[in-house]
Amino acid sequence: MEGLGFYGFGALTLLGALLMVTSRNPLHGVLWLVVSFLGLSGLFGGLGAHFLAAIQILVYAGAILVLFLFVIMLLNLRPDDVERMPTFSLRGGVGGFLVGVVGFCAVVGSVVMGTGAFAKPVAGLPPLEAGAADVAIPLFSTALLPFEVVSLLLLAAIVGSVALTKRRLP
Protein backbone atom coordinates (compact mmCIF):
# COMPACT_ATOMS: atom_id res chain seq x y z
CA MET A 1 0.00 0.00 0.00
CA GLU A 2 2.77 2.43 0.92
CA GLY A 3 4.69 1.37 -2.16
CA LEU A 4 1.64 2.11 -4.26
CA GLY A 5 1.45 5.62 -2.82
CA PHE A 6 5.15 6.23 -3.34
CA TYR A 7 5.26 5.01 -6.93
CA GLY A 8 1.95 6.65 -7.77
CA PHE A 9 2.91 10.07 -6.46
CA GLY A 10 6.45 9.69 -7.76
CA ALA A 11 5.14 8.95 -11.25
CA LEU A 12 2.77 11.90 -10.99
CA THR A 13 5.64 14.20 -10.00
CA LEU A 14 7.86 13.02 -12.85
CA LEU A 15 5.06 13.07 -15.41
CA GLY A 16 4.08 16.58 -14.41
CA ALA A 17 7.67 17.79 -14.60
CA LEU A 18 8.24 16.14 -17.97
CA LEU A 19 5.07 17.52 -19.53
CA MET A 20 5.77 20.90 -18.03
CA VAL A 21 9.08 21.08 -19.87
CA THR A 22 7.74 19.73 -23.16
CA SER A 23 4.42 21.53 -23.47
CA ARG A 24 4.45 24.33 -25.97
CA ASN A 25 1.80 26.51 -24.42
CA PRO A 26 3.26 28.19 -21.32
CA LEU A 27 -0.11 28.07 -19.59
CA HIS A 28 -0.25 24.30 -19.96
CA GLY A 29 3.30 24.22 -18.64
CA VAL A 30 2.28 26.00 -15.45
CA LEU A 31 -0.64 23.62 -14.95
CA TRP A 32 1.61 20.59 -15.35
CA LEU A 33 3.96 22.12 -12.80
CA VAL A 34 1.01 22.32 -10.42
CA VAL A 35 0.40 18.62 -11.00
CA SER A 36 4.06 17.94 -10.28
CA PHE A 37 3.91 19.90 -7.02
CA LEU A 38 0.78 18.06 -5.95
CA GLY A 39 2.63 14.78 -6.50
CA LEU A 40 5.59 16.08 -4.51
CA SER A 41 3.27 17.05 -1.68
CA GLY A 42 1.80 13.56 -1.77
CA LEU A 43 5.32 12.14 -1.41
CA PHE A 44 5.95 14.35 1.62
CA GLY A 45 2.64 13.21 3.09
CA GLY A 46 3.63 9.59 2.56
CA LEU A 47 6.81 10.23 4.55
CA GLY A 48 4.73 11.53 7.43
CA ALA A 49 5.83 15.12 6.82
CA HIS A 50 2.35 16.62 6.83
CA PHE A 51 3.59 20.08 7.65
CA LEU A 52 5.88 20.09 4.61
CA ALA A 53 3.10 18.67 2.46
CA ALA A 54 0.72 21.43 3.47
CA ILE A 55 3.34 24.14 3.02
CA GLN A 56 4.30 22.76 -0.40
CA ILE A 57 0.74 23.17 -1.66
CA LEU A 58 0.01 26.38 0.22
CA VAL A 59 3.09 28.29 -0.91
CA TYR A 60 3.93 26.88 -4.32
CA ALA A 61 0.75 25.48 -5.85
CA GLY A 62 -1.61 27.83 -4.07
CA ALA A 63 0.20 31.14 -4.32
CA ILE A 64 3.30 31.34 -6.49
CA LEU A 65 1.99 29.39 -9.47
CA VAL A 66 -1.29 31.29 -9.33
CA LEU A 67 0.77 34.42 -9.92
CA PHE A 68 2.65 32.70 -12.78
CA LEU A 69 -0.68 31.83 -14.36
CA PHE A 70 -1.85 35.37 -13.77
CA VAL A 71 1.09 36.82 -15.66
CA ILE A 72 0.82 34.33 -18.54
CA MET A 73 -2.90 35.00 -18.89
CA LEU A 74 -2.16 38.69 -19.24
CA LEU A 75 0.47 38.07 -21.94
CA ASN A 76 -2.47 37.42 -24.25
CA LEU A 77 -0.75 34.83 -26.44
CA ARG A 78 -2.49 34.05 -29.70
CA PRO A 79 -2.66 30.41 -30.84
CA ASP A 80 -0.25 31.10 -33.74
CA ASP A 81 2.23 32.74 -31.34
CA VAL A 82 2.24 29.50 -29.40
CA GLU A 83 2.60 27.45 -32.60
CA ARG A 84 5.71 29.39 -33.59
CA MET A 85 7.39 28.78 -30.25
CA PRO A 86 10.17 26.22 -30.50
CA THR A 87 9.70 23.17 -28.30
CA PHE A 88 13.43 22.67 -28.09
CA SER A 89 16.34 25.04 -28.26
CA LEU A 90 19.86 23.67 -28.45
CA ARG A 91 21.44 26.19 -26.11
CA GLY A 92 18.73 25.82 -23.46
CA GLY A 93 18.70 22.06 -23.83
CA VAL A 94 22.45 21.67 -23.41
CA GLY A 95 22.53 24.12 -20.51
CA GLY A 96 19.66 22.44 -18.73
CA PHE A 97 21.16 19.01 -19.32
CA LEU A 98 24.51 20.08 -17.86
CA VAL A 99 22.92 21.61 -14.77
CA GLY A 100 20.81 18.50 -14.31
CA VAL A 101 23.83 16.18 -14.65
CA VAL A 102 25.89 18.20 -12.16
CA GLY A 103 23.05 18.31 -9.63
CA PHE A 104 22.28 14.62 -10.01
CA CYS A 105 25.95 13.66 -9.66
CA ALA A 106 26.31 15.89 -6.60
CA VAL A 107 23.36 14.28 -4.81
CA VAL A 108 24.02 10.69 -5.81
CA GLY A 109 27.77 11.06 -5.39
CA SER A 110 27.56 12.44 -1.90
CA VAL A 111 25.15 9.69 -0.88
CA VAL A 112 27.31 6.93 -2.41
CA MET A 113 30.62 8.30 -1.19
CA GLY A 114 29.16 9.02 2.22
CA THR A 115 31.05 12.26 2.63
CA GLY A 116 28.65 14.99 1.57
CA ALA A 117 25.99 16.82 3.43
CA PHE A 118 23.37 14.34 2.22
CA ALA A 119 25.11 11.28 3.62
CA LYS A 120 23.87 11.65 7.14
CA PRO A 121 21.32 13.89 8.76
CA VAL A 122 22.88 17.17 9.81
CA ALA A 123 22.89 17.54 13.56
CA GLY A 124 20.34 19.96 14.93
CA LEU A 125 17.96 19.73 11.98
CA PRO A 126 14.36 18.86 12.81
CA PRO A 127 13.20 15.35 11.93
CA LEU A 128 11.37 14.84 8.66
CA GLU A 129 7.97 14.42 10.23
CA ALA A 130 8.41 17.68 12.16
CA GLY A 131 5.43 19.85 12.92
CA ALA A 132 5.29 23.62 12.79
CA ALA A 133 7.00 24.07 16.15
CA ASP A 134 9.96 21.86 15.23
CA VAL A 135 10.57 23.95 12.15
CA ALA A 136 9.88 27.33 13.74
CA ILE A 137 12.05 27.03 16.85
CA PRO A 138 15.38 26.47 14.99
CA LEU A 139 14.32 29.15 12.53
CA PHE A 140 14.21 31.72 15.32
CA SER A 141 17.15 30.43 17.38
CA THR A 142 20.01 28.45 15.84
CA ALA A 143 19.25 29.30 12.22
CA LEU A 144 18.21 32.90 12.85
CA LEU A 145 21.04 34.53 10.92
CA PRO A 146 20.71 32.45 7.71
CA PHE A 147 16.96 32.94 7.88
CA GLU A 148 17.29 36.71 8.06
CA VAL A 149 19.91 36.71 5.29
CA VAL A 150 17.55 34.75 3.03
CA SER A 151 14.75 37.20 3.70
CA LEU A 152 17.15 40.03 2.83
CA LEU A 153 17.93 38.23 -0.42
CA LEU A 154 14.21 38.02 -1.22
CA LEU A 155 13.83 41.71 -0.49
CA ALA A 156 16.72 42.49 -2.83
CA ALA A 157 15.07 40.37 -5.53
CA ILE A 158 11.79 42.25 -5.12
CA VAL A 159 13.48 45.66 -5.29
CA GLY A 160 15.51 44.49 -8.27
CA SER A 161 12.53 43.27 -10.23
CA VAL A 162 10.64 46.48 -9.56
CA ALA A 163 13.64 48.53 -10.67
CA LEU A 164 14.05 46.43 -13.83
CA THR A 165 10.44 46.49 -14.95
CA LYS A 166 9.21 49.90 -13.85
CA ARG A 167 8.64 52.15 -16.82
CA ARG A 168 9.71 55.75 -16.54
CA LEU A 169 6.75 57.98 -17.15
CA PRO A 170 7.50 60.56 -19.86
Partner 1 sequence: MTTWPSWQPEVLSFLPAWLWKVICIFLVLQMPPILVSLLVWAERRVSAWIQDRVGPNRVGPFGLLQSVADLVKFVFKEDVVPGQVNRVLYSVAPALAMVPGLVTFSLLPFAERFMVSDLDSGLLMLFAISSLAVYGIQIGGWASNSKYALIGGVRASAQIISYELTLGLAAAVVVLFTGSLNLAEMVRWQSETRILGLLPAWTIFVFPGGTVAFVIFITSAFAETNRLPFDMPEAESELAAGYHVEYSSMKFALFFLGEYAAMIVMSGLMTTLFLGGWSLFGLERVMEGTIWQTLIQTGIWWAKTLFFLFVFIWIRWTLPRFRYDQLMRLGWKVFLPLSLANLLVAAWMRTWGMWGASA
Shortest spacing between CB 131 and partner 1, in angstroms? 5
Shortest spacing between CB 124 and partner 1, in angstroms? 22
Helix spans in 76-166 (H)? 79-84, 90-113, 132-139, 144-165
Shortest spacing between CB 78 and partner 1, in angstroms? 11
Closest CB to partner 1 among residues 76, 87: 76
Closest CB to partner 1 among residues 165, 168: 165
At residue 133, φ and ψ (nearest 5 deg) are -65, -40
In the complex, which residues of this chain contact partner 1 (CB under 8 A)? 27, 31, 34, 48, 50-51, 53-58, 61-63, 66-67, 69-70, 73-74, 129, 131-132
95/105 Cα distance (integer angstroms)? 15
Shortest spacing between CB 121 and partner 1, in angstroms? 20
Closest CB to partner 1 among residues 84, 91: 84
Four-residue CA torsion sign, 123, 129, 134, 139:
positive
Cα 128–chain centre separation: 18
End-to-end CA distance of the chain: 64
Listed as own residue / partner, the contacts of 161-165 with beta carbons closer than 8 Å and 24 or more positions apart are none
Shortest spacing between CB 125 and partner 1, in angstroms? 18
Closest CB to partner 1 among residues 67, 112: 67
Closest CB to partner 1 among residues 67, 108: 67
